[in-house]
Chains A and B, each alone.
Chain A
Amino acid sequence: MLEEGKKRIWAEYQKAVPDNNYYFVRSCIRQTFFPGSEQAFIRIIRNELGKDIYETPYHTTCTGIGYHSDIIPFETTMTVVARQFALMTEAGYSNYIPSCITSFGLYTEVLETWHHFPEIEAHIRENLWKATKREFKIPDNLSHPSDIFYHFRKNIAEKAKYSLVDIESGQPLNVVEHIGCHYSKMFPGKGIGGAEYPCVLIGMIEAWGGNAIDYPERRHCCGFGFRQYIVQSNRGYSVSCSRKKFESMKPYQPDLILTNCPGCPMFLDRWQYVISEIEGKTYGKNNQGIPVFTYEELAGLILGYDPWELGLQLHQIDCEPLLKKMGIKYNPSEKYLGYNREYIGKPEITKNLFHCC
């Protein structure tokens, strides 16, 4: 194919990402399991990249998990989304940045619905006015925080203290990624690279020195499945999906898994623990699991942030072997200290998974 043709096709998989002035909206799951990631995102945007980012305490859940477990009607969800947009409008922003893939998919679905059915948008505006006396403007841009990091991946690399390289061998680390269903599959044109060429995480991996691996089940769901995880008796579905991914990636001996969603890193981390308990099976070397990172954690790590402030000790899979492989300077004795540097004890040791200390 001619170079021109390639460029034309690739252009269809790009999206506009704003350079500055971000209205940030938190994720229920990310702040619950990875609060250090949201903190790192804001710190990197403000301190490393020198950009403006704003959040208001008055925003709420988008109701996405409730909507996708079918207890919340679409009309309710659309009106809650309208309220979120009203808060953005009142704050004087127009670049909406939700820290969650479920939210990203949901906002896209709502915006597409309103675009194609203006009468529904008009009805939701009436609902919002009736319920809250608020009005809103449609955002100029909807981007996920990973889109922003992809956009600035080279700027982040320029400031990095470490790279995704094995310091002993000098070889790039093998990195697998998990793109997130509601980022890439619902409206492929709204995510960088879509579902066919998902490159938002690959772009970061390569810019930060790693070797990205295209494993067969790269696009398979992590298994959240909403009701399939929320209800205890359905969780076999969830762990089975993750297991399929681990089996698929294992032959490539990945050093780490990089994720896009808030929920996926938690599932891919916890289900490795569950599989090790049920089957005695682990997917890394020497009974180690494969460490799972959010893109904010990975960016924070290469920028030299303290792993314990990023929250890496909250992962079930021990990250320390990887920190050592990358030559990251950190203090192992601070892993189990609280905010005031008080010792808070250690988690119980698991049966089959490797523990560094």
Chain B
Amino acid sequence: MTQYFKTLQEDIRFREGLSACINCGTCTAICAAAEFYQYDPRQIVDIVQSRNELEIEELLKSDTIWYCGECMSCKTRCPRGNTPGLVIMALRTLSQDSGLFIESEKGRQQLAIKRTIGEWILKTGYCVSPELINPEMHPEQGPVWKWEIDNIRTLMKKMGANYQGDGPGALRKIPEEALSELKSIFDITGATQRFEKIENDSSKKAEEMGLKLTDGLDNPYMQYIYKHNSQNHHNNQ
């Protein structure tokens, strides 16, 4: 059996986030996710501190650990100074490192995040810029955003941005040297490796589910994990 608890303890966020939880439930009372999802951070912390490897493995395979929004409201209110949000971050890291993230609907979404935000960082130097928020994938952005995207260059210039230009300023083109340093950092600190792991494990899962997965966003597996909601996650059921 894999020693999940021991691995969790190697994560500094786990060590800082949990020391002898008294199970009072204050974190659950304040938690934005607990109000929306069938989610109880008190219970998660209790399972983890029990050191029950089988139960921890179930967590790593579950939707549960992906419900948190990492707002860190729990950090402020815990009377023991614990941070269930940091415990969640350590569990999510372990779920990906162990490949168990592909066993849950919400865990599988990591590929969608890697292929949008993750690749955008290396391509542009930004987590997000206007081209990534295309109105088709973001209908909630509304008609003003569509109008802005349709007129992006002239509007950005009017706001004083240096849109895709050289030199400093908002939305400037980040120089190639900077992007190359970013890539080098990703290579030696584990991000590249995590990206490859997410890709490889997702590829196996796509095959198992009989959904085609190719490069980019426009393929059946990507569209499925990005849009599918089994509707059995919420509190009002």
Contacts and interface: CB of A to CB of B under 8 A. Distances in A.
A35 interface: yes
Given A130-B188, A233-B228, A340 B69 contact: no
Nearest to B182: A60
Interface string B82-97: 0000000100110010
Interface stretch (A63-71, A142-150, A163-171, A325-333): A63-71
B112 interface: yes
A88 to B, nearest CB: 14
A127 B228 contact: no
A127 B189 contact: yes
Contacts of B177: 58
A230 B227 contact: no
Interface residues of B, number: 90
Given A132-B181, A350-B142, A241 B118 contact: no
B127 A65 contact: yes
A244 B73 CA distance: 16
A274 B140 contact: yes
Nearest to B178: A58
A237 B33 contact: yes
A132 B113 contact: no
B191 A309 contact: no
Q: How large is the interface on A (under 10, 10 to 19, 20 to 34, 35 or more residues)?
A: 35 or more
B190 A225 contact: no
B6 interface: no
Interface string B177-195: 1110110111111110011
B133 interface: yes
A241 B145 CA distance: 21
A58 to B, nearest CB: 5
B170 A233 contact: no
B116 interface: yes
A79 B174 CA distance: 18
Interface string A99-141: 0000001000000010001001000000110111000000000
A346 B148 CA distance: 10
B121 A61 contact: yes
B194 to A, nearest CB: 6
A66 B190 contact: no
9 contacts: A55-B169, A60-B125, A74-B12, A181-B71, A184-B76, A270-B141, A309-B160, A344-B155, A345-B151
Given A60-B121, A64-B127, A236-B36, 14 more contacts: A35-B171, A38-B170, A56-B168, A63-B127, A71-B110, A117-B12, A127-B189, A219-B73, A231-B225, A237-B36, A313-B144, A314-B144, A316-B145, A338-B151
